[in-house]
Amino acid sequence: MTKNSDKLKQYTNSTKNSYYYHYAPKTFDEIFKYLSGETETLPNTQNLSSWYLEDLIGLLNHVDLWSEFDDKIMKLAFQKNIWGMPQKPEIYTSGCYSFFMKWVKRQIRVDNSIETIKKFEQKSKEFQIPHVFFVFNIANNGVSFLNKDNSLTGLGAFLLENLDKNLNSYSSAFEDSDSLKGYFNLLIITNQSKYEREIWSFLQHKSKKIREMAAITLSKLGERIIPEASKLLNDKKGEVRQIGALILSLIKTDESQRILLEALDNEKNDDARDVILESLSGILPVPKTEEELKERIEKAQKRGKLDSPIEKWLDESHLPSLNWLSGKAFTANEIRYLFYRQSRTKDIRIDSEAKPMLALIDKTTSHDFASALLKTYFTNGADAKQKYCLGLGAILGQDEECNSIKSKVTQWADAGRGKMAEYAVKALALNGSTKALRAVEFFSRKYKNKNKNIGAAANEAFVIVAEDLNISPYELADSIIPDFGFDGLFKEFEVNGDTYRAFIDNDFKLAYLNEDNKVLKSLPKATTNELKEEFKEIGKEIKDIVKSQSSRLEQYLVIQRKWNTEKWQAFFMGNPVMFAYAVRLIWGVYDTDNKLIDTFRCQEDQTLINLEGDEIELPEDAQIGMVHPISLTAEQITFWTENLYDDDIQPIFPQLTRPVISLNEKDKNLKISREFQGVQYGGYGFISKMEKIGWNRGSVVDGGWISSYFKDFSDLGFTAIITQQGELCVGYYDGNAELNELMFVRKKAVQFGSYIYDEPSHENDVRLMPFGEVPAIIYSEVMADMQYFKENDLKKQNEVNNQ
């Protein structure tokens, strides 16, 4: 039986069992005959409502090879009373047209040549699809006009062929679409003035985003448009001057920068002035003294920017004093200038003109000011428009202010104020203290699956701090693990003249050694309350660190992060928390070619023991990392497993016992695996398990259906995707999830989101990676994730068969 006849049989049976079949059995019987080829006469469906044929039109979804059967469905479906032609090109989700255009898009992703485009346009005419509608829907589904080297794709060449007779229609269709940028770039490469003038006309558009996009495109024309762009700086409208400044700022020649420099101090429109400021970054002199800053404040006063408080409720005279490093107190005008400049930031970051001012503030005395500012802000509703108060409160505050902001993250997340929670996380990062950065890292994990935007904001903030410090995010994560004032692995203290040493045991709990080296599980009774409180706080922090560090280390095992010998010894042998991890893991010594040359364990006395039981010294030029079982022989795994067991050491996570699945030689060129196709798992359990093992929900499409899940390995340059064909929908998890196709794609090659159908569906998709190019450990980990569901499904099937 062919696939189409199977689809027809299924549709016929389900329709005859539906209640609406009984409203028009004769019409439906004619439809069945028409589709099966028993008659060539097109049935008249005018007595049917459109939703009676939704199941029929649904047969067009995920078509591989368009056939005469699909043509017949289209001819039935686009009768006027059913769907008809959408009135606007952007209404492309209408029934049969949506499915046809999705099919076209899938084919063009494989072959974006002008011959292919023309062939499909000819096909679209059979279904009365207008030219502009056809072009718009291909472009708006992610098919590009230009290749990365700016050469024309098939769609780009097709548009240029039809540009003269369709220029106005194209501009109107692309006006509010995601394809406008590509359309502008296509017009630019023609080097024809009539098409350039079309882009200039968009500078007057009502949308700021579109005006800016046009400006960015025009700036690519370079010096020859400086005279025309300069005229915009003299326009009466501030938004026009802003666009002129944007064009000139992007051209970046001596002439364009000279023009902007002349305009800077007289520009009263802050949006336009901020564009100029950003353009002149690195060119403008940075004030280094109070006197130089006061000159800048005076210029702002002359522009009328300090005539009244920035907010009605933010009266500078009611706030505690703020001091310069010289000890002088800020005037009300100086505080107002700080508020004014920091309020110009669109996100939680430090404004370029506020930055030198903040550098000259005495942070040792700014605590009261920061506390009062945050309290005033929170009391007055904590509006997102005044989020600069969060940033200033964090920058000028200490631990108490960070704790206040940290509590707001959770409070706002629970109250549905997700954007404010994002701002609060970013504000913590601006503080920069170890405690604040640990909070940022904590939120990146807490909101990894739920309230993902907050977690993403935390990750972004963490990366920005790392970049500012010129280190990797991993190195920053290492650096914020505190040592609690320990001298190496111990913290010495006295009680009634007796000396004790605190340390962190293998269970991540504080323990104590007396002068006889006897281990005590609790502090001596005579310990002062001050010391008790100090160790109590240390205990709390250890618990928080372990929550994050255990999962982080397992991630490092999977991506095979390495430390050079010096850094490994400093981090794992010198930090009391990380030493407790070091003794519970098996380590590998790798050479400069990343080849495993030895394995070892760290003992409680800090000696390093290899497979032969010999104490070893780590080579200075080696790389050290956690060893994955895929790199070990069965004998080595057995030895180290028994060694840990004999010493009563529990691994912090499954290291040696994790499943190992190797790629079969014959599958090295495979790009899509269907090994798990049809595997089912209960909806609630599936979601919970996928989140636990690090998979993220992919796109949510028609009817809230979840089309896929993905696991990101961005550090290594790719992403794993498993498509889903079960009953799993957002808000409805009672049905089963059903696995479909597994694949690996290049990093960020596939987009996920609401109503985004971007997962590859054909082996020829250039975004797909052959399995042989995927690192062996990553392949093993991903396949093991899916194997869990397969084994569970087989177990249930066996239980049913044995009943």
Q: What is the pLDDT of residues 671-706, one digit of tens each?
A: 999 999 999 999 999 999 998 898 999 998 877 889
Residue 7 has pLDDT above 90, yes or no: no
Residue 90: pLDDT band (50, 70, 90) is very low
121-135, 412-426, 605-619: least confidently modelled range: 121-135
Rounded Cα distance between 800 and 200, Å, is 69
- Cα first-last separation, the chain: 32
Pairing of strands 672-673, 623-626: unpaired
Nearest Cα to 689, choosing from 719, 728, 655? Answer: 728
pLDDT of 85 > 60? The answer is no
* pLDDT above 70 for 252: yes
Answer whether residue 89 shows pLDDT above 50: no
Higher pLDDT, 88 or 360: 360
Residue 86 has pLDDT above 60, yes or no: no
pLDDT tens digits, 151-177: 899 989 999 899 888 888 888 888 877
pLDDT at 311 over 90: yes
Better pLDDT: 138 or 26: 26
Question: Across residues 747-771, what is the average pLDDT?
Answer: 88
Q: How confident is the model at residue 2 (pLDDT cuts 50, 70, 90)?
A: low
Distance from C-alpha of 608 to C-alpha of 582, rounded to nearest angstrom = 10
Kindly report the backbone phi and psi dihedral angles of residue 726, in degrees, each rounded to the nearest multiple of 5, phi listed first.
Answer: -90, -155
Query: Please, are residues 177 and 140 in contact by the beta-carbon 8 Å criterion?
Result: yes
Angle, CA of 338, 362 and 471, to the nearest 5°: 85
pLDDT cut 90: percent of the chain above it: 57
pLDDT per residue over 599-648, tens digit each? 999 999 999 999 999 999 999 999 999 999 999 999 999 999 999 999 99
Mean of all residue pLDDT scores within the chain: 89
pLDDT of residue 426: 95
Q: What percent of the chain has pLDDT over 70?
A: 97
pLDDT above 50 (res 91): no
CA dihedral 423, 427, 428, 429 (to 10 degrees): 100
Per-residue pLDDT reduced to its tens digit, 324-335: 999 999 999 999
Residue 8 confidence (pLDDT): 86
**pLDDT beyond 60 at 442:** yes
Helix (H) or strand (E) holding 723: strand 718-724
CA distances from 20 to 59, 73, 87, 260, 778 (A): 18, 19, 29, 69, 50
Query: Residue 126 — pLDDT band, cuts 50, 70, 90?
Result: confident
| Average pLDDT estimate for 281-289 | 87
Quick check: 580 pLDDT over 80?
yes
**At 185, which amino acid appears?**
N
Q: Which has more pLDDT, 752 or 84?
A: 752
The total number of residues shown for the chain amounts to 803
Q: At what angle do helices 154-161 and 180-189 cross, to 10 degrees?
A: 70
Q: What is the pLDDT of residue 1?
A: 42
At residue 563 the predicted structure's pLDDT band, cuts being 50, 70 and 90, is very high
pLDDT tens column, 636-677: 999 999 999 999 999 999 999 999 999 999 999 999 999 999
pLDDT of 517: 92
In the sheet that 519-520 helps form, which strands lie side by side, from edge to edge?
Answer: 491-495, 498-504, 510-513, 519-520
Comparing 582 with 82, the larger pLDDT belongs to 582
3-state secondary structure of 466: helix
pLDDT confidence of 54, banded at 50, 70, 90?
confident
Residue 67's pLDDT is what? Answer: 84
Q: Average the pLDDT over each of 170-179, 298-307, 424-433 and give the range with the smallest value.
A: 170-179
Question: DSSP alpha helices (H): ranges in 284-331?
Answer: 290-302
How far is the C-alpha of 226 from the C-alpha of 231, rounded, in Å? 9
Rounded to an integer, the average pLDDT of 402-430 is 95
